[in-house]
Amino acid sequence: MAATTEQTGGALGAARSLSEQYTDAGTSELPWIEDTGKVAPKDARALSKLFLDRLQVLEEGTREYQYARNTLIEMNLSLVRYAASRFRNRGGDDTEDIIQVGTIGLIKAIDRFDLSREVEFATFAVPYIVGEIKRFFRDTTWAVHVPRRLQELRVDLAKAKEQLSAKLDRDPTVKELAELIDLPEEEIIEGLVAANGYSAGSLDSPSAETDSGSDQRSFAEMIGEADPGMETVENLHTLAPLLEQLDDRERRIVQMRFGQEMTQSQIGAELGVSQMHVSRLLARIVKQLRAGMSVEA
């Protein structure tokens, strides 16, 4: 314990010796660092201990507290970049987002760090940074939401497929994946299906090239859409047996009105009845057909 205290005191002493290079009247008890990017990693570690020690006794919201906290963040951004590099094959074009998310983890580590734990700040901070990045991938990168266990299974499947493909020189089967991961085949299949929800392609992306290689069709152009005439066909199929239930005069009236598009006056003249009588007959026939179609539906 005494040795640890002596080491900590030595590190703080080394950090304080650096204060001769960085001075500022507003932060008399802390070295003033104009450009954190120019601080060597070894000096950054020693300075971080000094700033963290001072941060624990400063009043939150004061100018000196903000200076100490912000400087700690800037001096340790290399930890975020290191952690982010471990995810470079998963980030795509989201590198800046990963850095920002990792920085949130760094800030949490700074706010929760306690020198009395006698652990290096980097050792304490990296799990916070990595945890935030993993949470970012879990919550934002899936195109379709799937249960967390399937998200984690996707990672295991990817590693298993890579391992078996290198060993077998071909894509592994579901059975081989199940044996390696020690899971039932049904769960492996579920994981493989769920993995399809990790990313989604654009409907505007080309589906395939033609023989000439010059013309390309997007997926959107190949997707079918509802035929507006289909509903008419379905209605006619439903209507046909209902028309058969009408008597000859009623069917003739329907044919003249909706087939030949004759007016009610013309139909009345053809049948030798008044236009008003034709109107009543049509209303009754249409009501009967509508009721029959509703029952069919």
**Residue 16 sits in a domain of what CATH number?**
1.10.1740.10
**Model pLDDT for residues 275-292, shown as the tens digit of each residue:** 999 899 899 998 888 888
Q: Check the CA dihedral 48-50-52-55 and report its sign.
A: negative
Which one-letter amino acid corresponds to residue 91?
G
Check residue 3 and give its pLDDT.
Answer: 38
* Helix axis angle, 148-168 to 185-195, nearest 10°: 100
Same domain as 50, residue 106: yes
Which one-letter amino acid corresponds to residue 138?
R
Of the two residues 80 and 232, the one the predictor is more confident about is 80
Q: Which of 95, 111, 140 is the last residue of a domain?
A: 140
Same domain as 244, residue 213: no
Residue 203 reports pLDDT greater than 80: no
Check residue 106 and give its pLDDT.
Answer: 93
Among the ranges given (128-132, 138-142, 167-171), the one the predictor scored with the smallest mean pLDDT: 138-142
Q: Which of 222, 242, 274 is the last residue of a domain?
A: 222
Same domain as 116, residue 51: yes
Count the domains in the chain: 3
DSSP letter for 20, please: T
Q: Which of 222, 247, 277 is the last residue of a domain?
A: 222
Q: Looking at residues 254-275, what average pLDDT do you find?
A: 89
**Model pLDDT for residues 46-76, shown as the tens digit of each residue:** 888 888 888 888 888 888 899 999 999 999 9
3-state secondary structure of 204: coil
Same domain as 104, residue 16: yes
Residue 13 reports pLDDT greater than 50: no
- Alpha carbons within 13 A on the beta-carbon side of 2: 0
Same domain as 251, residue 198: no
Residue 80: exposure state from Cβ atoms within 10 A (0-12, 13-18, ≥19): buried
Residue 184 reports pLDDT greater than 80: yes
Count of CB atoms situated within 10 Å of the CB of 232: 10
Check residue 108 and give its pLDDT.
Answer: 93
* Whole-number Å distance between alpha carbons of 153 and 59: 46
Check residue 142 and give its pLDDT.
Answer: 60
What is the residue range of 216's domain?
A: 148-222
Residue 211 reports pLDDT greater than 80: no
Measuring CA to CA, which residue among 142, 166, 173 is closest to residue 155?
142
Q: Are 203 and 223 in contact (CB under 8 A)?
A: yes
Position 176 confidence tier, pLDDT thresholds 50, 70, 90: very high
Same domain as 14, residue 106: yes
Among the ranges given (35-44, 184-193, 241-250), the one the predictor scored with the smallest mean pLDDT: 35-44
